[in-house]
Amino acid sequence: MLKPRAHTESYYAATANQVTDFAPLRGEHTADVCVIGAGFTGVSTALHLAERGYSVHIVEANRVGWGASGRNGGQMIGGIAGEKCVAKSLGKDVEAVFSELRWAGHEIIRERVKTYDIQCDLKSGYLDVAIKKRHLRDIEADYERLEQAGFPHEIRILSRDETCDMIGTDAYIGALLNMGNGHLHPLNLCIGEANAAVSLGALIHEQSPVIDIEKGDKPRVVTQQGAVTADAVVIAGNAYHSLEPKLRGIMFPVNSFIIASEPLSADMVATINPQDLAVCDPNFVLQYFRLSADKRLLFGARFNYFGDDPKVIRTHHRRKMAKIYPGLANVGIDYAWGGTIGVPINRVPQLGRVAPNIFYCQGYSGHGVNVTHLAGQIMADAVAGTFERFDMFANVKPFVVPGAHLLQKPLVTLGMMYYQIKDRL
């Protein structure tokens, strides 16, 4: 028997505006659409559909935002992984396809926060930092692209000294300041959007793991105590979904971990991040950090670990954090947690169908805060019969690694080693 689980003991769970308590699914129900998963993808899809007048049921195994949506770095970063691959499949220039799509999720988030008065500590400001000279070349290319596109937000290339002055560390040789990106409290955003969907008539069922999806003219989503029969189903479980056999082996789970320090003094905040920016390096095995609303340093990184022991995470991340900020080597660490993100082999977000009326959407390669919100809009379009943007991604067939779901740990370990080597070159 599948047992629902509580939120991981993260800073976000500890500071959530609300502890959601939606009743489990019991009995037989009908809806226009049944969404499996109450993370960003599922909730965003449901909210878009509810705004269009569809009746929607969301079925969630645990709690709203339980997976990566409620435990990620909270960095709202533009861009969609796998852009070149998608553009190539369309026979078009990358800029022609993605110049606006890269930022569409941001605008959806800002609109949601304003329309539904969602309190999620949304802030503007982001630094894409450089470690190697090749990163500086990438930064210059990004700056030129944004300038040519008439990007409406402040962007500026920073020298080594300017970067050091802005975030109080000499660990980087330059940066790109982008005030169109930002950061937020992801769990509070997800919960706020879920409440918005409910206010428009959507129903959410927590603690309701799905045990079967019966295909047919009216697919039926079955849980241990109930079922939803719908005209369409959207599978939105990302790295935590393994029920549908056709979705196995097309995406790898990659773990990322975060620590939250004790609240920092005003002097320390003025030293390390006076402008309250999110910061991320360009590596695959990356490091990222920002301040929380109560001025803790939230420091995240990927590393080759499959457990969830806070002591292990604290030890590893404190060492990494101290290399960037030696003055924080002995700061108190109040929270340490991890989560799993989905990374397709070709890095392209995976949108598709396992049956004519059963859709799926997953695999954002670490860009989930932004892309899930765009994806929810695209999935709502597809349910409504508009497939132009959906087909852009669905026509890029995912690479399949047979048996990957049975060999996840060794395969991910090999992948991490490969990318660590690439990062060092």
pLDDT at 312 over 60: yes
- pLDDT for 354-387, tens place per residue? 999 999 999 998 888 999 999 999 999 999 999 9
CA distances from 173 to 44, 167, 181 (A): 38, 12, 21
What is the pLDDT, as a whole number, of residue 407? 53
Output the pLDDT for position 410. Answer: 57
Residue 248: band (very low, low, confident or very high) from pLDDT cuts 50, 70, 90: confident
Distant-in-sequence, close-in-space partners of 128: CB < 8 Å, separation ≥ 6: 139, 142, 175, 176, 178, 280, 282
Within 22-107, strands assigned E span 27-36, 56-59, 75-76
**Is the per-residue pLDDT at 242 higher than 80?**
no
C-alpha 360/C-alpha 246 separation (Å) is 10
CA separation for the pair 303, 319 (Å, rounded): 13
Interval 82-100: pLDDT, tens: 999 999 999 999 998 998 8
Partners of 355 in the beta sheet?
Answer: 358
Taking the C-alpha atoms of residue 204 and residue 58, their distance in angstroms, rounded to an integer, is 5
Residue reference for tokens 């991040």? 273
Give the pLDDT band of residue 284 (cuts 50, 70, 90): confident
Residue 146: count other Cβ atoms within 10 Å of its Cβ: 20
280 three-class SS: strand
Q: What is the pLDDT of residues 342-359, one digit of tens each?
A: 888 888 999 999 999 999
Question: Phi and psi for 30 in degrees, rounded to 5?
Answer: -130, 150
Q: Is the pLDDT of residue 247 over 90?
A: no
pLDDT at position 419: 55
- Is residue 46 very low, low, confident or very high in pLDDT (cuts 50, 70, 90)? very high
Q: Tell me the pLDDT band of 2, cut-offs 50, 70 and 90.
A: low
Cβ atoms 97, 83 nearer than 8 A: yes
Q: Which residue from 291, 258, 282, 296 is spatially nearest to 183, judged by alpha carbons? A: 291
Which segment of 214-218, 236-240, 344-348 scores lowest on mean pLDDT? 236-240
Q: Give kind and range of the element (H or E) at residue 373.
A: helix 368-383
Which whole number is the average pLDDT over 147-173? Answer: 96
- Mean pLDDT across the chain, nearest whole number? 92
Q: What is the pLDDT of residue 225?
A: 96
Q: How far is CA 419 from the centre of its chain?
A: 20
Confidence of residue 307 (pLDDT cuts 50, 70, 90): confident
